[in-house]
Amino acid sequence: MSKSKYKTYDDLKQDFLGEMDFISNIGAKFFIYLSKSHSKLSTNGFYFTYGLLFLVTTQLIATLCLICINNFDWFEVINVTPNTGVCMMILVKYVKIHKNKEVYDEIFKHFRFDLWEAIADTTEHKLILNRFIMVYQNNIVGKEKQYLYPFDGWYPFDKQQWYNTAYIWESFMTTVVIFIFVFINILHISFTRYICMELKILGNTMEGLITDDDVVKIKGGKETEQTHYKIKTKLKFIISKHQYLAKIISDLDNVLGDGMFLTYAFGSVFICLTAFTATVVDDLYKSMRYFSFFCSLLLEVFIQCIMGQLLSDHSNKLEKAIYFADWVYADSDTKKMLLIFLMRVQKPFEFSAKGYLNMNLEAFSGICSLSYQFFNLLRTAYSE
């Protein structure tokens, strides 16, 4: 492929910044992500949306309590529990993003401005950019989906007489919950991709820490002091960027920890319950509804785990990049810095469930395995 077929550095930068603006604007318009300079209307919108989420969560908890108190029915409990759990997880994530908006502002600022200090106008860096940039406008706009999966909730009035009102309420709140669910995932997937992209760029820069020209100068004894100074300066820059990424990831891990813990603790139970309900109900509509619910829960767990896996993999690649640098030609001070840096990167970046468990594909495999065991247990108990 000829170089002319690549987008220019400025075009790629505009695509990337356009993607950032799209994510932040969508979040602001729907009161999910609010910057520090948001308006009073946005604040009111957040509290209104929070009130709706809190109301529907309370409604489902009340429904579950009434089922347990009045006419206890295992099937009804299984029917309502996954909806309750998902709404609680959404409520936790929604509040955590609002309380930590300074962290998100800092991350957006880093990827809008500071990131470009590490990106050079080279073919390798442009290839990395082109690989990680995703134009959301092309992938989302024009593909509107309808989510008409009303839940089973308790009402202080006759639900059959007020069917239209109840159905509109349930459809509306389902759409709100799903939209918030999807956007929060888009936001965190994007941040994870950007971090992985910067790690890839830092790895590429590390591999070229000592160029062929530098080797020739060092071997020939020409401009040796200036060459070693340039190498040392470049290495300090890489280390400083890596330290800042470590801070970002630590902040993100604190924000995501509660949601990931709930995902790990209850994910297998909810996946099992929705799969079981989808297979035992006689009604086709309910069966399809719970099968869709099962797929979305499975996807949610997978997303949480794959983010951690990708982060860990790209962090490990940076460690390998250190070995590919021509470090043998560096001076003693640079070699000491490389050794200390190598010791730091040997502990990869990870997302965890409040520090109890690392979220990766191994965790996803464990959740799926546990879900399948619960599913078989329920099927056996139900058939008897």
pLDDT tens-digit profile of 37-51? Answer: 666 777 788 888 888
| Token digits of residue 374 | 């619960």
| Token digits of residue 290 | 């719970």
Instruction: Measure the CA angle with vertex 285, ends 69 and 270; round to 5°.
Output: 50
DSSP states of 187-208: HHHHHHHHHHHHHHHHHHHHHT
**Single-letter amino acid, residue 225:** E
Which residue is listed with tokens 């297979």?
279
Rounded to whole angstroms, how far apart are CA atoms 56 and 48?
Answer: 12
pLDDT at 83 over 70: yes
Q: To the nearest whole number, what is the mean pLDDT of the chain? A: 80
Range 232-251 average pLDDT: 91
Which pLDDT score is estimated for 208?
Answer: 85
Q: What is the DSSP letter of 3?
A: G
| Token digits of residue 143 | 């593909």
At residue 358, what are phi and psi to the nearest 5 degrees?
-80, 135
Question: Residue 10 burial by CB count (10 A; 0-12/13-18/19+): exposed, middle or buried?
Answer: exposed
Instruction: Measure the CA angle with vertex 317, ends 256 and 185; round to 5°.
Output: 25
Confidence grade of residue 199 (pLDDT, cut at 50, 70, 90): very high
Rounded to whole angstroms, how far apart are CA atoms 182 and 315?
Answer: 26
* Predicted TM-score (pTM) of this structure: 0.72
Coil, helix or strand at residue 358: strand
pLDDT at 229 over 80: yes
| Cα-Cα end-to-end distance for the chain | 64
Which pLDDT score is estimated for 157?
Answer: 62
Range 226-244 average pLDDT: 89
3-state helix, strand, coil in the chain (%, to 5): 80, 0, 20
Residue 235 neighbours by CB distance under 10 Å = 23
Which pLDDT score is estimated for 155?
Answer: 63
Rounded to whole angstroms, how far apart are CA atoms 10 and 16?
Answer: 10
Confidence grade of residue 133 (pLDDT, cut at 50, 70, 90): low
Interval 27-37: pLDDT, tens: 776 677 666 66
What percent of the chain has pLDDT above 90?
9
Which residue is listed with tokens 């020939």?
220
Show me where the domains of the chain are located.
3-383
* Residues 6+ away with beta carbon under 8 Å from 273: 78, 81, 82, 378
Instruction: Measure the CA angle with vertex 353, ends 351 and 357; round to 5°.
Output: 85
Confidence grade of residue 142 (pLDDT, cut at 50, 70, 90): very low
Residue 54 neighbours by CB distance under 10 Å = 15
pLDDT at 305 over 50: yes
Which pLDDT score is estimated for 44?
Answer: 82
pLDDT at 66 over 70: yes
The Cα diameter of the chain in Å comes to 92
Short-list 294, 300, 304, CA closest to 371: 294
pLDDT at 70 over 50: yes
Interval 145-184: pLDDT, tens: 333 335 566 667 666 666 666 767 776 777 777 787 788 8
Rounded to whole angstroms, how far apart are CA atoms 271 and 290?
Answer: 10
Range 81-94 average pLDDT: 80
Confidence grade of residue 20 (pLDDT, cut at 50, 70, 90): confident
pLDDT at 217 over 70: yes
Range 250-260 average pLDDT: 86
**Cα dihedral 27/33/35/40 (nearest 10):** 90
